[in-house]
Amino acid sequence: MSILIYFILGLLTSLLFPPYFFLPLGFIIFPLLCLLLDSNRKNKNNLHIFKNFSFFGIGFFISYLFWIKNPFFVFEETKNFFPVFLLLIILLSLILSFIFTIVSKLGKRIPLIFLIPFMFTISEYTISVIFYGFPWFTFSLIISSNEYLLFLLKSFGTLISSYLIIQIFCLPYIFLNTLNLKKEIKYSIFFIVLPIIFLMISHFYFKDNNLKTNTIDLEIFQLNFKNNDQSLTPEEKLNIIIDNIKESTASMLIFGENNFPYLLDDLDLKILKDSLKENQVLIIGATRFENNKYYNSLINITPTKVTYFDKKILVPFGEFLPFRDSLTFLESITGPHNFSNGREERIINLSKNISFIPVICYEIAFYWKLLDKLNYKSNFIINITNDFWFGNYIGPYQHLYLTKIRAAEFNKPIIRVSNNGISAVIDNKGSIIKNTELNKNVKFEHKLFLQENINFFNEHLILKIYFFIIFLLITFYYLKKNV
């Protein structure tokens, strides 16, 4: 019976995330988890905790990541492999339950209102970095539909925001656990109210420092080319691209990931350059072949110059096959060739004073790998993607909302161009200014205002250290009181 309760709680937890956002559920789910874990800890049964949270994880991930089965149905020859997606669900569930069991054992004297958020945050971080990393699971997504709450990301970053969100959801448990009521209220004041005060101060600071410095006239092209569509030949696709370029009067034209239908070569680049007007910039996704290696690339083209960025964070079993020599039977899923990791710096300079950060597809989820000392002052981000692989409902929306939280966290506008949608212009607060619908062939223009945006990203590490030290002090205090 207990595993069924945990499984249902896992399913309900997925409803806090996009595209659902049933946030009041959080004030029921997390206090219940505190009560259930408290009961398990009193029984001192670690195996029971591991089993229960394994089923919580399965309930959560099978609902939250159900879209992962969709890529297997794109091509006929991969349909029989779709149960493979269950292996990822099971793996993620085991990681989560293992962390909960270990942390619960080590922190058995720590009040659960502190421990539950810590467990989820540690799980989120571990899943983000273990093996090839999968930072799709972040509780920061819960606030991605609320532009005001997104300011948490700007001030605190992804992990600390996740902790604070879960901590707030756990607050009703304080009143259910009257034994430590006064102590836990003091903790909440110190660990929740103070950060909120900091948030309000920083919000006032940001409002006075976002000054418009320049503009760029954009045109975004969502071509909706189907991955498995045989109705258009590569030549016809290229003609559509060329016609759109010739008709555009914008200064920057942006197409989606891998929209260019051929393996890119010098002749193709000349055709594209000759289609541009003077002072126009074309950005398009393409596959490059160089030195016997394939690259998933963002190409930046002007009438006189070509620069590019090659994708650095590749999708295992999508863009490359780990241990290919031993797993040849999976080549029908990944294809006969691996893509290679790019080596170019993640920055493209448009002029002396204007630059952008290129991001391809789900790289946008890897928040700690996108900004560095070379690009954190860049004016904006361009994220090209092809969400055809994500299906028609949950996946594309989760991907869009991940982009929204990056815009808020980095304090930079993001131009998101998806082959099939959802394309969007997102401002530096995480608000969607303009967007398209999914699976539509559409284009639109937008005047992008560039700003002198102060970015707290370098300070997020200091905040993580601060929160970790505070947590250690609280842990030490409670351990000492219970010796």
Residues of 307-332 as b/e, b for ≥16 C-beta within 10 angstroms? ebbbbbbbbebebbbeeeeeeeebee
- Residue that has been written with the tokens 């069924």 in this structure: 4
Side-chain-side CA neighbours of residue 449 (13 Å) = 10
Side-chain-side CA neighbours of residue 68 (13 Å) = 20
pLDDT of residue 186: 60
What are the tokens at 256? 């989606």
SS3 261: coil
CA distance 271 to 178: 73
Q: Which DSSP state fits 320?
A: B
pLDDT of residue 208: 46
Q: What is the pTM of this model?
A: 0.90
Contact criterion met (CB below 8 Å) for 112 and 38: yes
Beta-bridge partner residues of 283 = 254, 300
Q: What's the Rg (C-alpha) of the chain?
A: 24
Identify the CA nearest to 162 among candidates 185, 187, 128: 128
Burial label for 188, CB within 10 Å (0-12, 13-18, 19+), is middle
The pLDDT profile of the chain, 483 residues, written as one tens digit per residue, is: 689 999 999 999 999 999 999 999 999 999 999 988 888 766 667 788 899 999 999 999 999 999 988 887 777 777 777 788 898 999 999 999 999 999 888 777 777 888 899 899 999 999 999 988 899 999 999 999 988 888 888 878 898 889 889 988 998 887 776 565 555 566 666 666 666 666 666 555 555 455 556 899 999 999 999 877 778 899 999 999 999 999 999 999 999 999 999 998 877 888 999 999 988 999 999 999 998 999 999 999 999 899 999 999 998 877 887 766 666 666 666 667 889 999 999 999 998 889 999 999 999 999 999 988 889 889 999 999 999 888 888 999 999 999 999 999 999 999 999 999 899 999 998 999 999 999 999 999 999 998 776 676 666 666 667 666 766 666 666 556 655
What are the tokens at 287? 């596959």
CA distance 284 to 278: 18
Contact criterion met (CB below 8 Å) for 385 and 363: no
Find the Cα–Cα–Cα–Cα dihedral 336, 342, 347, 349, rounded to 10°: -80
Alpha helices in 43-140 (DSSP H): 46-64, 85-106, 112-129
Amino acid at 368: W
Nearby residues of 413 by Cβ (< 8 Å), 6 or more positions away? 380, 381, 407, 425, 426, 427, 428, 448, 451
What are the boundaries of each domain within the chain?
Answer: 2-207+460-481, 212-452
Side-chain-side CA neighbours of residue 183 (13 Å) = 14
Burial label for 140, CB within 10 Å (0-12, 13-18, 19+), is buried
For domain 212-452, the CATH class is: alpha beta
Identify the CA nearest to 367 among candidates 348, 381, 353: 381
Contact criterion met (CB below 8 Å) for 308 and 344: yes
